[in-house]
Amino acid sequence: MNYDDMEATVLKGFMQDRHVITLALTEGFEADLCAGPASGRLCRAILDLYAQGAAADHVSVRNALEARGLLTHEMDRYLQAVVSLRTPDAARVMAYIEALKNRDSRERLRALVSELQAFLEGAGPGQGDIIQLTTRAMQTLLELQKRRTRTRIKPASELVGALVREAESRSGDGQARLLGYSLSPFDRLTEILSGLRRGFYYGLAGAPRRGKTNLTLQLATYVARNHRVPVLFYSWEQSARVLAARLVAKETGLDPVTILTGGDAILPQLHTAADRMAQYGSHVFLVEAGRQDTLARIRAHAYNLMQEFETSEVVLFFDYLQKIPLDQPLDDWKARTDLISTALAELSLELNVPVVAISPLDKEGCRLDEKPLDDEAQYSPYERPTMHHSVGSGDLEYDLDVAMVLAKDWKATGELRQLLESQARASGVDPDTLPQVDIVNLYVDKNRDAPESAASIVQYAFFVTLNKFVELDYKLEKEYRPEFRSHSKLQTIYTHLRESGILPLAAPARR
| CA–CA distance, 161 with 158 (Å, rounded to integer) | 5
pLDDT at 430 over 90: no
Give the model's pLDDT for residue 29: 86
Question: Is 177 or 108 the better-scoring residue by pLDDT?
Answer: 108
Section 334-349 average pLDDT: 90
Section 325-349 average pLDDT: 86
Section 444-470 average pLDDT: 87
466 CB-contact burial (10 Å; exposed 0-12 / middle 13-18 / buried 19+): buried
Section 18-45 average pLDDT: 88
pLDDT at 428 over 60: yes
pLDDT, one tens digit per residue, over 294-309 is 998 898 889 888 888 8
Section 439-456 average pLDDT: 87
Give the model's pLDDT for residue 206: 92
Give the model's pLDDT for residue 354: 96
Residue pair 91/9 in contact (Cβ under 8 Å)? The answer is no
- Cα–Cα separations (whole angstroms), residue 35 to 30, 140, 294, 438, 466: 11, 18, 32, 63, 59
Backbone angles phi, psi at 171, to 5 degrees: -65, 140
| CA–CA distance, 504 with 45 (Å, rounded to integer) | 64
Q: What angle do CA 287, 291, 295 make, to 5 degrees?
A: 70
Which of 11-15, 200-204, 389-393, 403-407 has the lowest average pLDDT?
389-393
Question: Model confidence at 137, in pLDDT bands (50, 70, 90)?
Answer: confident
pLDDT, one tens digit per residue, over 476-503 is 888 888 778 888 888 888 888 888 777 7
Q: Which of 25-39, 116-130, 277-291, 367-381 has the highest mean pLDDT?
A: 277-291
169 in helix, strand or coil?
helix
Name the pTM for this structure. 0.77
Section 13-18 average pLDDT: 89
Question: Is 511 or 38 the better-scoring residue by pLDDT?
Answer: 38
pLDDT at 153 over 50: yes
Torsion of CA 122, 127, 132, 133, to 10 degrees: -10
Give the model's pLDDT for residue 378: 66
Tell me the residue ranges of DSSP E strands in 297-436.
315-319, 355-360, 402-408
Give the model's pLDDT for residue 114: 85
For the chain, the average pLDDT equals 85
Give the model's pLDDT for residue 511: 41
Question: Model confidence at 432, in pLDDT bands (50, 70, 90)?
Answer: confident
318 in helix, strand or coil?
strand
pLDDT, one tens digit per residue, over 227-261 is 999 999 999 988 999 999 898 888 888 888 888 88
Question: Model confidence at 508, in pLDDT bands (50, 70, 90)?
Answer: very low
The secondary structure of 84-142, three-state, reads: CCCCCCHHHHHHHHHHHHHHHHHHHHHHHHHHHHHHHCCCCCCCCCHHHHHHHHHHHHH
What residue ranges define each of the domains in the chain, with the CATH number in brackets? 3-148 (1.10.860.10), 187-499 (3.40.50.300)
Question: Model confidence at 348, in pLDDT bands (50, 70, 90)?
Answer: very high
Question: Model confidence at 213, in pLDDT bands (50, 70, 90)?
Answer: very high
Cβ atoms < 10 Å from Cβ of 408: 22
pLDDT, one tens digit per residue, over 57-85 is 889 999 999 888 888 999 999 999 999 99
Give the model's pLDDT for residue 30: 86
Give the model's pLDDT for residue 507: 44
pLDDT at 125 over 50: yes
Section 507-511 average pLDDT: 44
